[in-house]
Amino acid sequence: MSPRHVLLAVTVAIVWGINFVVIEVGLQDFPPLLFSALRFFFAAVPAVFILGKPRVAWRYVIAVGLVLGVAKFGLLFVGMSHGAPAGLSSLVLQSQVIFTLLFAVLVLRERPRKTQLLGIAIACVGMVVIALDHGLTAPLGALVLVVAAAACWGVSNIVTRHAKPQDTLRFMIWVSAVAVVPLVLLSLATEGAHADARALRSIDLTGVGAIAYLSFVATLFGFGAWGFLLRTYDASTVAPFSLLVPVVGMAAAWTFRGESIGPQQAVAATLIIGGMACTVLRRPTRASAPMAEVLTRTGSPVG
């Protein structure tokens, strides 16, 4: 990669890592499902009139919109609103790599490489270390929601592989558009129209900034730049930069939110990131190439 494109890849990782802190800040002003709906609304609505129709079958756009946009992001935002810290969420969410590999094996009958199996085992140990860390401030239920969000992300990765979108940004914009109405309806049903209206009436510059960052910086810039890099270079060249996301996320949470990182959490982070590295850093064999494509082309690590 050229130095300019290396800088671009690092910038995307930084943007996506800080994204989790921005979510945590925005959740102070909005109910989680409404906040997620606003994020997708402003990312999608202006752009769909500019980019035109998606270049993949509508069934894939709708499926990913529901599984990724509604289920994954809804669970993540609700989990964080119930106490899952930003840095820890950025780390736990990367267990999507485990779920993607698992679903590829069970559903697609693909054969994982030995290093991928080793990576899953190492990352699972890291997840267990997190679960056993009684010093965590996050309630267990909140962490379970984040893990469930990672599982939904794994399902969406498999669907996206079948869709094979040539334009990642266009695809994500239409996925975002699909997610808006279901999220609004879920917010009205569970969070209440009164709470939603109160949040919208009392919106301030912090809330506007959080929505703008998630919509335009993390979504449009992040996915646009990531898609450009994947079109320019092999996926195996680009994918390792995603390992920076939880590192940046935990560092940003420590810097801006005062989230502590104890020895046990540091060990868990090392195990999870090391496990992910085993799944993406080595070039796959021919037999496992489809699975590697699932992880690298569709596993963009944004929250």
d(Cα 11, Cα 3) in Å, to the nearest integer? Answer: 12
Which pLDDT does position 134 carry in this prediction?
47
Q: Which residue has the tokens 């300019």?
A: 4
Burial class (CB in 10 A: 0-12, 13-18, 19+), 82: middle
pTM of the predicted protein model: 0.83
Which pLDDT does position 191 carry in this prediction?
94
Three-state secondary structure call for residue 98:
helix
Burial class (CB in 10 A: 0-12, 13-18, 19+), 109: exposed
For residue 67, which of 178, 162, 166 has the smallest C-alpha distance? 178
Q: Which residues of 172-209 are buried (b: 16+ CB within 10 A; e: fewer)?
A: bbbbbbbbbebbbebbeeebeeeebeebeeeeeeebee
> What is the phi/psi pair of residue 262, to 5°?
-80, 175
| Most distant CA pair in the chain, distance | 56
Tokens read off for 107:
């559903």
Q: Mark residue 113 as left, alpha or beta (left: phi above 0; alpha: psi -120 to 50; beta: remaining).
A: beta
| pLDDT tens track, the chain, 303 positions | 788 988 998 898 899 889 999 999 999 999 999 999 999 999 988 777 777 788 889 999 999 999 999 999 999 999 999 988 888 888 888 778 778 778 877 776 767 777 777 877 887 787 777 666 644 556 778 888 999 998 998 888 888 888 888 888 888 889 999 999 999 999 999 999 999 999 999 999 999 999 999 999 998 898 888 878 877 876 667 767 777 888 888 888 888 888 777 777 778 778 877 776 776 655 544 444 455 555 555 555 566
Contact present, 85 and 169 (Cβ < 8 Å): no
Which pLDDT does position 288 carry in this prediction?
46
Alpha helices in the chain (DSSP H): 3-26, 32-51, 58-64, 73-81, 86-92, 96-106, 114-132, 140-163, 168-190, 193-201, 205-212, 222-232, 235-238, 244-257, 263-280, 289-297
Which pLDDT does position 192 carry in this prediction?
93
